[in-house]
Chain A
């Protein structure tokens, strides 16, 4: 059931067909052949460790003031979160912000690269308190959000539920990786099944196992979630602007060479 699909230079994920490993079956018009310039456009950011300079978007003080270091009580702690916990004060876990800074930098950098390469980003959060905020954030950066009940096969059964030729997200960002009954969100497992990288804020009661870029941090306080939303929004917009800028420069250079 090979459905011909447009190939872009960034080679998006091909889903909704039954195990078609060879993109060569799709018709490849000349325009989509990655040229040397396109290659440079895509490979140049990869050579820098922090091409989009996401480190400057946040400081330790910002995280601290937004209460990112506050965790749940000791009894709610997930065993796999122990490496990220600084300590336990009067039964309340405190998350190590030095580690959070590193993880957050990695996660934002990755998000920026995905956005630069025109990937689709899906924000997921099942916290009712922040669902509107998450949806607004997604709309502000031109990406997508899913803050409602997750039907079983949204990722794994997409070609039946949405029809053939659907493009799945290239990155899923969890602003809270739990669902309403304090279990890990199904999308974490499904994204892993579909080879979709995930970025997720994991609190002390979450399981960070399947998440590609976990960010140990508070996911319950409004100030913390607002901070994350702001950081993701700024990163994505910055990456998209950078892409537009690079393409414009390439365009000018091509015109100059053409002349």
Chain B
């Protein structure tokens, strides 16, 4: 609809082809106009002939048309870029804020890894059993089972047997470089995920999960023993 409108305005702005005006506006027949005052019409006619009037009309319509189209395009672009293939040196616009583990701010409420069968990792990197979880969601640091930044069950390639240990290990402050490096080279398929991640804890939760990198032949793990990876490389490929 806006483009039709634009076409009509375009032809009005070019009086060189008057018959085109008939195409656009000739639907209204002369009978309606028969009663109008000659003088009055003359003024309007002159006004209309003025280029600036036409220009203003055209301009307004153009602005309307463009804003409408652009708005639509903007949304499509935003949607599309999520998984579009890109040039290899493109970086995903990650926005992870790393906490360096030296924050003196006493934490009152912790996020934790929620899902565990028996273990949980809190955002400070403590792994503890469910029974040692405090009401605020943090691990009870005094409990025997609680350990911070523990890489138990993790292999040298950054893949672990137990998810909670993977998250805890990944939260180690010295893993920041590795993670940044990964984020800079992350495959486009992970763009959705890693551009939505906001901080170190969320990044580790997301990075340690099994993903398209964890499988061979789609329905088997590359390595069922060490499938949770905080590192860059996928799990080592074991023969079926």
Task: Check if A and B associate.
Answer: no
Q: Which residues does A use to contact B, with CB under 8 Å?
A: none
Q: Which residues does B use to contact A, with CB under 8 Å?
A: none
